[in-house]
Amino acid sequence: MAEMTYREALNQALKEEMRRDQKIIVLGEEVAFYQGAYKVTQGLLAEFGDERVKDTPISEEIIIGAAIGAAMGGLRPVAEMMTVNFSLLAMDQIVSNAAKIHYMFGGQTKVPMVIRAAQGAGKQLGAQHSQHLEAYFFHCPGLRVIAPATPADAKGLLKAAIRDDNPVIFLEDQGLYTTKGEVPSGDYIIPLGKANIIKNGEDITIISYSKMVLDCIEASKELENYNINAEIIDLRCLNPLDKGTIFESVKKTGLAIVVNEAWMTGSAAAEISCLITENCFEYLDAPVERISALDVPMPYNRELEQAALPHKKNIVDAALKLLQVNQ
């Protein structure tokens, strides 16, 4: 296995899939000549040409609408949203068309497309460019929602997403692009809807996805100083959601913390916490703890921005409170 960045793993997945299947195309703002706002599409135009790698007008509704039409016509488009915040301009296409066409056509047509989008905060990009919008997509039946945390998962899940016959929202936290990890070579595929138990433990279950998984891992190391052995679950996918792995772990430990970097109200963490309560109530030794960002527009000021976001310390403090450990 080679060590590479999250960005390079995504790029490798795109190249491998485009070499494998001539029906795969890439489209979006500045994905061709500029090679992507985050350089994920670097080298695609040179290798595959402008018939398969297309710069589009600055219109998210057109990008997604064109991708839907291409998917219905037999292609497998990968549409890039420069940032997930811009996907709000295409929500009618995503929610009313991409998510529902297979159902409304009685299964006579499929919409095999991937919408890649960077999201996340912590880069001082202001309130309109620092959002986590996975709950919007998680809420909509018909959409697959993926949020990988590691370079290996980024590659394996993107390849799986491209091969899936459903519309997939593929969310890439912008804070992960430069992180490094070992990535399997060759045709490496991770099945959608299978969570990864990063670390086994008996005392408490900590559940997360995307960039916050890294904070959970660091928190678990600090908890070892208190003789607390935490089990860490990286969901990887929100839809399909691996409920079985979540419930089995919580039934074992009796305690659960659900972590996401999105707003708390109506978040994926809220839904998962509810599922745990509904399905594992008799096994819980305390109420499920949620850790999320504050319900505020993201500040531009660096200190205020960091104050609005969850961190390792929040996870550690929540675990110590649940286990009634005095610091």
The pLDDT tens digits for 4-41 are 999 999 999 999 999 999 999 999 999 999 999 999 99
Q: Is 191 contained in some domain?
A: no
7 and 129 in one domain?
yes
pLDDT in tens, 179-237: 999 999 999 999 999 999 999 999 999 999 999 999 999 999 999 999 999 999 999 99
313 and 206 in one domain?
yes
269 and 128 in one domain?
no
311 part of the active site: no
34 and 145 in one domain?
yes
> What is the spatial distance between Cα 264 and Cα 270, in angstroms, rounded to a whole number?
7
Q: Is 327 contained in some domain?
A: no
Q: Is 39 contained in some domain?
A: yes
Check residue 214 and give its pLDDT: 98
238 and 316 in one domain?
yes
pLDDT in tens, 34-93: 999 999 999 999 999 999 999 999 999 999 999 999 999 999 999 999 999 999 999 999
Phi first, then psi, for residue 207 (nearest 5°) are -115, 135
Mean of the per-residue pLDDT values for the chain?
Answer: 97
145 and 95 in one domain?
yes
210 and 140 in one domain?
no
Of the candidates 287, 248, 132, 318, the residue with the CA atom closest to the CA atom of residue 233: 248
Q: Say if residue 293's pLDDT is above 80.
A: yes
pLDDT in tens, 231-266: 999 999 999 999 999 999 999 999 999 999 999 999
Please list the alpha-helical segments (H only) found in the chain: 6-20, 44-48, 60-72, 91, 101-104, 134-138, 151-163, 212-223, 243-253, 268-280, 302-308, 312-322
Among the candidates 183, 213, 243, a domain finishes at 183
Query: By CB neighbour count within 10 A (0-12 exposed, 13-18 middle, 19+ buried), where does 38 fall?
Result: buried
Going from the C-alpha of 53 to that of each of 29, 48, 112, the distances in angstroms are: 11, 7, 17
Q: Say if residue 122's pLDDT is above 70.
A: yes
Of the candidates 303, 216, 317, the residue with the CA atom closest to the CA atom of residue 258: 216
* Placement of tokens 């969850």 in the chain: 310
Please list the alpha-helical segments (H only) found in 164-258: 212-223, 243-253
Q: Say if residue 2's pLDDT is above 70.
A: yes
Q: Is 188 contained in some domain?
A: no
User: What predicted TM-score, i.e. pTM, was given to this entire model?
Assistant: 0.96
Of the candidates 271, 28, 242, the residue with the CA atom closest to the CA atom of residue 137: 271
The mean per-residue pLDDT over the stretch 153-157 comes to 98
Cis peptide before 240 (omega within 30 of 0): yes
Q: Say if residue 326's pLDDT is above 70.
A: no
- Give residue 251's domain range: 196-322
Name, in order, each residue with C-beta under 8 angstroms of 15's C-beta and a sequence gap of 6 or more: 43, 44, 47
200 and 174 in one domain?
no
For position 298, which CATH number holds? Answer: 3.40.50.920
C-alpha of 94 from chain center: 17
Check residue 1 and give its pLDDT: 86
Instruction: From the candidates 102, 129, 132, 261, give the one annotated as an active-site residue.
Output: 129
Instruction: From the candidates 60, 80, 261, 305, give the one annotated as an active-site residue.
Output: 60
In percent, the amount of the chain with pLDDT more than 70 equals: 99
139 part of the active site: no
Please count the structural domains in the chain: 2
Check residue 133 and give its pLDDT: 97
CB of 207 closer than 8 Å to CB of 257: yes
Q: Say if residue 327's pLDDT is above 60.
A: no
Check residue 325 and give its pLDDT: 77
294 and 252 in one domain?
yes
For position 22, which CATH number holds? Answer: 3.40.50.970
232 and 299 in one domain?
yes
204 and 122 in one domain?
no
> What is the spatial distance between Cα 117 and Cα 82, in angstroms, rounded to a whole number?
6
Q: Is 157 contained in some domain?
A: yes
